[in-house]
Structure 1
Amino acid sequence: MKLFVGIDVSSQELEACFMNADGDNFESFTVPNNLHGASHLRDRIVVAADKLAVSEIHIGLEATSVYSWHPAMYFHQDPALRERKTKVFTLNPKLICKFREAYADMDKTDRLDAWVIADRLRFGRLTTTLVMQEQYIALQRLTRMRFHLVHNLAREKQYFLQNLFYKCNAFTTEVDSSVFGHALMEMLSEKFSLDDIAEMNVTDLADYLRDKGRNRFPDPERVARCIQQAARASYRLSKVVEDSIDLVLGTSIESIRSIQKQLKDLDKAIERILDGIPGAQCLLSVPGIGKVYAAGLLGELGDIERFKDQAAVAKYAGLTWRKHQSGAFEAEHTARIKSGNRFLRYYLVEAANSVRLRDEEFGEYYRKKYNEVPRNQHKRALVLTARKLVRLVDVLLRNGQLYTPRRKVNSAKN
């Protein structure tokens, strides 16, 4: 016999519902969403489990932002619950919402939500327990913060270029975008006017770029001439507007530098945790998967044994296509599911794009899929290549083996 505990989570309270295998609700109550409330709920679960002599306890919570994380981890790690073979599930709210639709005209209350969650647990067929070990959670927090900062950096650079157009509107057409970096930011932060840049000696400007760019420009003289050409071709601003734009550019530059420094600190912390996680070397052995992609994949996947097989991993990432079949008809073109872990999907797609450039097998597969359709070739081929990468990642992590190019790996045993 199993005990099913559905918990509706809010920022303030945990609404619990105890249900047996027959679907009978024999206890419902509310506790605060804090350590004392979770401890009291744990005690009630233990008492009920011992009274009913259950063989297993299933606890389910909706993944409601950050509110469900602490209770889920508490119940997952509690020694008394572990002794009683407890599994903790954090459920996608969409799953619960669709399950609720089977009950016509049901009211929407916290107590009924807890009952629906418990009944969904009783129904079973849940692919994975989504509570991960602490090392994976720590890595996930870092990689998601890095994801956030990278997108902020791209947005800040775009904002910088928009304001740069006011100061030097010909920059985007005359200067290669690859020169955007430390040297250009140093030049603009020192508030050179367009006339100052236009009148500088090309050799002096090239030396300035060489120094500030740390000798990263392959041809500093050419870059210097392009910058001067852009400065001479641009509109001139009044003093008051130019001062304002200089201040905006300077502020944007400081934001960019701050984000870049934060990214370096995060990368060091990610590398420290990654070195101690099993499976990291398996992913790093794949050409094109570096430490950033390996950390992102492991941080979202956790222990691969949480998933039944590679198909479950693909579904978790949202890289699954619905089938549409009726009688003898079966649709050739179907839509990808819109659910799934968007962070895992992001890292799989980005990693697939990198791997297909470095591995012959993945490159051939990408080109084959690219040539199959007349529209959206790259996007479609890349997503399908990511789906192929899921199979490789699953095999490597499940078997603990390194990737050997041009050699087929054995399928993992389910």
Structure 2
Amino acid sequence: MRTIIGLDVSKASAKLSVAVDGKTTYDGDITLDAIGFQSLNSIIQSYGGAEVVFEATGVYSRRLEKYLIDNSILYHILNTLVAKKRLDDGSRMRKNDVRDARGLAITEFTKEPVPYVPRFSDPLYRELSDMSRYYDQQTEDIKREKNRVHKLIQLSFPNFTDEIDVDNISSLEVLRLFPHPDTIKGHTVTEIADIILELGLRGIGQGRARTLAERLWRAHSVSYPAIESSSFVVKQLRQQVTNIIEMTVEREVVISNMINLAKKLPEFDILLSIPSIAENTAVRLIGELGDVRRFEKRSQLNSFIGLDLTEIQSGDYIAQRHITKHGNPHARKLLYWTVVNMVNSTAQPNHIRDRYEKKRATATRKKPLLVSSMDRLIKTIHYLINTNQFYSYELARSL
């Protein structure tokens, strides 16, 4: 006798359906807290043990998953798309949480005839994944703040960006000191350079400080701001520049902590052996891909990322193939820019660039070629990690 419990997980509760040998015997619901999990455990014990199947619902299903792991309860967590395909039982639209829970339980008997045994990865991978997402969040927040700062500069110090690039911390520090042309009045170039030196910024010496001071003086001499130096916009500009600086520093701390954690994993050094993959990229790849060893085939890893190709053919009609994009968008973006760096003419010799250069001569479009290179990089990463080998250009080129 095989017992499966299907759970349709929502924000604070879950609908529950118990199926024994393919037939529903009980429907109910639980809360996603300590009391609800205890009720779930009682139900499992009343049946003499059971398997649990549920759909991944982001942060809401994470606590359920942890409870099942902590209590050694056999479970199967489904990708959202896989769960949708399972529950699509016809053209009639009859969908509710109870039906979904029943559907997950009953289809588990046919889709997984043998009880699914999850492979438990080191919790370190989950920690790196959370840190990688936070890093991406900080990156997006910095972009938004920079866009806001650019608009404010046009009101407060219009010609500042003509002379000084605001994409680095030292320039932002200078902007925070002098957010309006009037803040420079009464100071000579030498005095401005001394003020910049007093900040103690990394990479700013006498020469660099003097250059910044001269550029700032030129910008001040031609700028005609739309606001007065006493305007609230000046205060807002300073605050948002401060936000960018703080988030940039925090992001560097996150990467540093990720590197310290990733050094405990054997694949960290393996990834570093691949040309154009530095520590930043390596730790974020580990964070997004997780334990690559859990994928028996490269095609499974491709599907996880969303690089698997669609195929539509009917009669004489054959649709153009493209990637599904159903997987991890963060991993796809990271792999894309990694490949862009690898095929760059200044990159270290690698087999991916060799193949890219060979195909580019006859290719009509650049993007499909880069996607193909991403697939080849995935193949390389999967092989090296599963065989515990370091990258060898000579060996890769001969394959």
Q: How does 1:5-404 map to 2 (within 5 A)?
A: 5-21=5-21, 23-49=22-48, 58-79=51-72, 81=73, 86=74, 88-105=75-92, 107-124=94-111, 129=118, 132-172=121-161, 174-175=162-163, 177=165, 180-191=167-178, 193-194=180-181, 197=184, 201-202=188-189, 205=192, 212=199, 213-216=201-204, 223-239=212-228, 243-327=231-315, 330-331=318-319, 333-357=320-344, 358-360=347-349, 361-368=351-358, 370=360, 372-374=362-364, 377=366, 379-404=367-392
Matched position secondary structure for 1:67: helix
Amino acid at match of 2:18: F
Contact 1:189 1:253 in 2 (8 A): yes
Contact 1:395 1:409 in 2 (8 A): no
Matched position secondary structure for 2:53: strand
Extract structure 1 runs of 4+ deviating beyond 6 A: 125-128
Q: Summarize deviations over 1:250-296 as a string: whole Å, max 9, x none.
A: 10122112212322332232123212223222112212222332222
Offset of 1:112 from its aligned partner? 0.8
Distance 2:339 2:212 in 1: 34
Change (3 A) 1:16 1:271: same
Distance 2:145 2:236 in 1: 12
Distance 1:9 1:130 in 2: 22
Change (3 A) 1:308 1:192: closer
Contact 2:156 2:226 in 1 (8 A): yes
Matched position secondary structure for 1:68: helix
Amino acid at match of 2:57: T
Range that drifts further, 202-211 or 319-328: 202-211
Change (3 A) 1:18 1:133: farther
Give 5+ residue unaligned stretches, structure 1.
51-56
Contact 2:164 2:171 in 1 (8 A): no
Contact 1:9 1:64 in 2 (8 A): yes
RMSD: 3.2
Q: Summarize deviations over 1:10-51 as a string: whole Å, max 9, x none.
A: 233222222245x3222322222112322332332244255x
Aligned to 1:53: none
Q: Summarize deviations over 1:125-148 as a string: whole Å, max 9, x none.
A: 799958744221111111111111
Change (3 A) 1:209 1:190: closer
Distance 1:168 1:13 in 2: 53
Contact 1:3 1:20 in 2 (8 A): yes
Distance 2:185 2:24 in 1: 80
Matched position secondary structure for 1:103: coil
Task: Give the fraction of aligned pairs with identical amino acids, expressed as a percent.
Answer: 22
Change (3 A) 1:385 1:115: same
Change (3 A) 1:186 1:298: closer
Give 5+ residue unaligned stretches, structure 2.
none
Range that drifts further, 251-260 or 350-359: 350-359
Range that drifts further, 391-400 or 207-216: 207-216
TM-score by length of 2: 0.85
Amino acid at match of 2:246: S
Q: Summarize deviations over 1:298-352 as a string: whole Å, max 9, x none.
A: 2233322322311110111011221233346544x32221311122223222332
Distance 1:207 1:380 in 2: 52
Amino acid at match of 2:293: E
Q: How many residues align?
A: 392
Change (3 A) 1:151 1:91: same
Contact 1:367 1:381 in 2 (8 A): no
Contact 1:280 1:294 in 2 (8 A): yes
Contact 1:4 1:59 in 2 (8 A): yes
Distance 1:103 1:154 in 2: 45
Distance 1:118 1:409 in 2: 48
Contact 1:6 1:116 in 2 (8 A): yes
Change (3 A) 1:192 1:139: closer
Amino acid at match of 1:98: K
Contact 2:155 2:225 in 1 (8 A): no
TM-score by length of 1: 0.82
Offset of 1:222 from its aligned partner? 5.2
Distance 2:70 2:139 in 1: 33
Contact 2:154 2:225 in 1 (8 A): no
Change (3 A) 1:187 1:409: closer
Matched position secondary structure for 2:26: strand
